[in-house]
Structures are given as C-alpha cells and as structure tokens.
Structure 1
Amino acid sequence: MFRKFEIVSTPNAAARGRADMFWKKNNKFLKAFKKFRKPERKLPGVFENARILDQQGLLKYFSLAGFEYGSWIDNNTRFEFLYGCVVSLLDLRDLTGIKSLGFGLYTIAFGARGKGGRGSAAAHFEPRRHAINLTKEYGLEALAHEYGHLLDHFFGCYIDQDKLSQYLSLGKLNGKISLRVNGLRKGTLRYLMQEVIKAIVFDSKGNVTPYYTRLTKEAKSEYFTASTELFARAFEQWVTYQLKKKGVVNKFLSQPKYEHWMYLSPAHFKKVSPKINALIKAMAVKAK
C-alpha cells in the first residue's frame, strides 16, 4: 500500500523517521537509479511527480492485478523497482501497441516468489498464478523476456484457445515438434506464432538453422529448445532492437541474461523480426 511520499511496508514507516524524511526530501528516486535507461524518460501526466506513485492508480493504468514485494525488500528498493517497472511498462506499451499490458489478470512480483541464491533463475513466469517474478539480485534485466511468456500465455489461454496447449507456442514442446503442418487457419494468432517458431528453427529451404542446431548440441537442457523459450528470447531481442531504433537503452526492461550463442545472430534475427512484427500487431488488435 502507498501513502504520500513513501511506500509503506510492514511495519509501517514511522512518522518523521528516516524513510519518511527521505521521501519528503527527495522529489524523485535516487539519481544512480536513473542510469538504467538512456535517455531518461519523462513520465507523462499522472506520473510527473515521481515521489508520489499511487499503486492502485498504476495497476489501473496498466491493467495489472497487482505488484508484490518480498519480505526482505526495503522501502527504497521497492520504490526504485516500481519506478523501473513504470518506465519499462511505458516502453512496452509504445513498442507493442498494447495499452492494457496486464489484461487485468497478471501480477508483477519482485523478490516475492521462488528461491534465490546462486544458480537460481533471474526471473520466471508462473502461468497458474498469472505472475511474473523478478528476483532481487538478478531479475532487473529480464522483464521483456518474461513479458514474452505472458503474451504467449494470455493469447493462447484466453483468446486463441487450443486443447493442445494454453500457450500459443505450445509451451514446453520442443521447437521442431511444436510445428504443425495442418489445422491452423492463416492469420490466426497461433498461425502467426508458428511462423515465428518456424523462422527460428528452419531456414527458407526447410533446413534446420545453425542456431537451432547449436542449441540442441550445446544447451545443457531441453528447456532452451522449448518453443515458449525460443519465442521469449526472440521477443527479448525484438524489444532491444525496437528500442535501439528509437535511440533508447533500457537495461531494466531488456538485457541479455544468457550467453550470446543462445540468441539469434543479427542476420538470423533480421529474418525472424518481421514475423514477430506481424504477431505483435495482431495481438494489439485483439487486445483492444
């Protein structure tokens, strides 16, 4: 819950205490935190006064079900995380054309779910709980990747349904196995998603791409060749590419979290990108 000038946790920040005085003194978040986006983005309208971020207002603005914070996240860190989310969600709205980013169903959690520590995932998407979780230490670069999973899940589960999977991409199925020759009507979201996966797995002549071959040989787990992961990494690259075209770097939203060979090469991405453009455009139309 938010109160004027501060983010209130449990226990509540004491009146005239250090946290209370911090928010009254600082009109905006810590200057060091501004560096995550270049150039700095000015918040529109209701967000102009960044020291007063009304959580309920933000949830309504982005159609999110909630923000969650772990027990060990202090007030300052919560505020910085929330500000980073707001700026990044605004970027996502611009890039995708989808205004109701959370579709009234999804939550973004920070250090609130799962287990931390070395070897743990930087972030993960929970379809059953409709939640994106970003870890405290490593999650502040993974929002685009996890939002790719959210899009895959929402449009597969609620818009273009199929008994095979709640994901448009068919989820954890191996990328090659997930491709269906028949049964998909051209122009549907599932068809457009399959076009993305197909462009990742096969070249124009029908041969398996060097990228997918490399994944199957070098990746330590089949997790990395699952169709939903192929799409999420490609979407992550798409976000970074679209921001770059605008002269923007947003490290909170998207920053490579895997080794470089796990991403599409520039030449390969150039062939996949139009397929993603078509899919996102169709999603934006369905989301209206």
Structure 2
Amino acid sequence: MRQSKYGKPNGVKKSYYRNGPSHRDGANVTFGDIVKIFGFRTAKVGAWVNQQEQQAAANLFFDALCDLMTILQVNEQVISLRGTLSIAFGSGGNKFSSAHYNQETRTIALAKNAGPGALAHEYFHAFDHFITGRFLKKSGSNDFASSLWLQRGVVVEHPLNNLLESCYQHIFLKPDSDEPSDFFKRGAQADKALGSYYYALPQEVSARAFESFVQDNPIKNQFLVKGTKQSVEAKLGIYPLGDERENINQHFNTYFCMLGKAVHNT
C-alpha cells in the first residue's frame, strides 16, 4: 500500500516524465488491449472516471508496464503474474492510500487522483504475494514472501529462490549478519517518530527497496515510480541509501534477469 498523506492529488491530467522507447507509436490503447497483451485476469475502471481520463490512464498504464517489463528484463506473463493479477483504476482502492494491493482479489488499484507514481511499489506487493508458495515450503493464502522469510520460513531449494533470498537478505539484514540492516531500522525509526506501524512492515520495506531499484534504472517513468530520492518520505530515510541501495539494486537486477531467462525458456 502506498500512503498518500504526504502527496497532493494529481490524477491523469498531469504530464509524467518518461524517457523510454516508444511502445505505442502515438496510438491509443484501451484497458482491454492491456488485458489481452499482458494477460491480466481483469481490468476495472471506476464509474467516476470519464472517457478522456480513461483513455489517458490506459496509455499511461501501458507505457509504464512496458517500461517495467524492459527494466526487469522479463516478458508479459511475469508482469501479469501468469494471468493471476488484476488491475483497477479509480476503483477498488483504499481511502487511506493513493494505491493499494488487495490480496484477496489479487488486484493492484490506483486511485484516480493520487495513484500515479505508485505502480512499481504495488507491483512488488503483488509479486511478493504471488511468489510465496513457490519460494517457501509453508505459506498461507495471504502471506507475503518477504514477511514469511523474515519469520524464518524455509526456502524451497531452487537457483531462482536462492537469488530471491539474497535480495531479501540484503534488504533486511546487514552483510554477513543476522542483525537488522540500517535500511530496515530506519523504517522502524520513522514509525516510532510517527506513532505508527507501517514503514517497518516487511512487505512495505521490500516494496520500497524494489521501487528504488526501478527508479534508479536509466529508463525513467514517473507514472511507474517516483519519490524514492527527493520526496518527504525519502527525507525520512525510509528508502535505501548509498552502498546499501547499490547492493540491493544489483541483487534485484540479477534475480529478475535470471527469472526472465527462465520464463523465456519454458
């Protein structure tokens, strides 16, 4: 979940910077096209989204998902999590957040006026949820792999799982240690200062690490991700910094690169 209390609503009428390759050659796409191309289970648009907003949102979603696919070096079925993931715009959100991942329905929902920039964060929630049963020997239907791994969940032996475990190790623990990482501890410190328990939730820590990795890629897309460096939240120290950020980025890059190759060969 991406909280919105620090952000101002901007919606789809705003222009979002991106420097990636053209994916549509100026043509419009629909949410139906997105479902068909990526293999999403469903796509839902809220009743309060007018036709112009829906068209703008569909184009933004499409470009962002294509950019994410390029950044991760994976194909469409990884983005749609083998057809299990749904997307929603202006529908199915959470009144306390700008964007939300619903575990029950396996849906990423972006708010009409405040959702842009959170897609990468919510995608990792979906991925973290999807991969749990493939990554750990015992899990429940609503568990996140990151959280369960931190509770000493037993990893299913597989080369890809070993790489994903390395990602979690570098996110949550100091190198060659069982002590919490500085990144993890800063989330707890932010929660203490704010009187909450949100920033130190393992699934939130890992999603922020992932969105930092995505934002650091040379391909930039502010509809996909923004705010991991200069935002109010970033100034709280809740995103990876310096060497820890570089190390996490390297491990994420290795994992998704190998995942993309494995999926391509199946």
* TM-score relative to the length of structure 2: 0.79
C-alpha separation in 1, matches of 2:25 and 2:248: 37
C-alpha separation in 1, matches of 2:214 and 2:142: 20
C-alpha separation in 1, matches of 2:44 and 2:16: 21
Q: Which runs of 5+ in 2 are unaligned?
A: 1-12
Q: Which residue of 2 aligns with 1:125?
A: 101
Q: What pairs up with 1:98-177 in 2 under 5 angstroms?
A: 98-100=74-76, 101-102=79-80, 103-116=82-95, 120-157=96-133, 159-160=134-135, 162-166=137-141, 170=145, 172=147, 177=150
Q: CA deviation at 1:253?
A: 0.3
Deviations 1:196-243 (A, max 9, x none): 22212222242433222222232143332222222111110111111x
Identity of aligned residues (%): 21
Q: Which residue of 1 aligns with 2:209?
A: 234
C-alpha separation in 1, matches of 2:33 and 2:97: 30
C-alpha separation in 2, matches of 1:79 and 1:221: 38
> Using CA pairs below 8 Å that are at least 6 residues apart, which structure has the higher relative contact order?
2
C-alpha contact 2:85 2:106 (8 A) present in aligned 1: yes
My pick for the range that moved more, 222-231 or 162-171, is 162-171
C-alpha separation in 1, matches of 2:220 and 2:155: 40
Distance 1:228 1:167, change over 3 A: farther
C-alpha separation in 2, matches of 1:69 and 1:62: 17
What one-letter code is carried by the residue in structure 2 that aligns with 1:138?
Answer: A
Q: CA deviation at 1:263?
A: 0.5
C-alpha separation in 2, matches of 1:197 and 1:76: 41
Q: Which residue of 2 aligns with 1:203?
A: 174
Q: What pairs up with 1:8-87 in 2 under 5 angstroms?
A: 33=14, 35-39=15-19, 41-43=21-23, 47-48=24-25, 50-51=27-28, 53-87=29-63
What one-letter code is carried by the residue in structure 2 that aligns with 1:178?
Answer: Q
Distance 1:225 1:115, change over 3 A: closer
C-alpha contact 1:96 1:280 (8 A) present in aligned 2: yes
Deviations 1:53-92 (A, max 9, x none): 2443331211112221111111111111111001101101
* Mapped pair 1:212 → 2:184: yes
C-alpha contact 1:169 1:178 (8 A) present in aligned 2: no
C-alpha separation in 1, matches of 2:164 and 2:196: 23
What one-letter code is carried by the residue in structure 1 that aligns with 2:213?
Answer: W
Distance 1:42 1:214, change over 3 A: closer
Report the number of matched residues.
241
The RMSD of aligned alpha carbons is 2.7
C-alpha separation in 1, matches of 2:168 and 2:232: 19
Q: Secondary structure of 2:216's partner?
A: helix
Q: Secondary structure of 2:56's partner?
A: helix
C-alpha contact 1:168 1:193 (8 A) present in aligned 2: no
What one-letter code is carried by the residue in structure 2 that aligns with 1:239?
Answer: V
* TM-score relative to the length of structure 1: 0.73
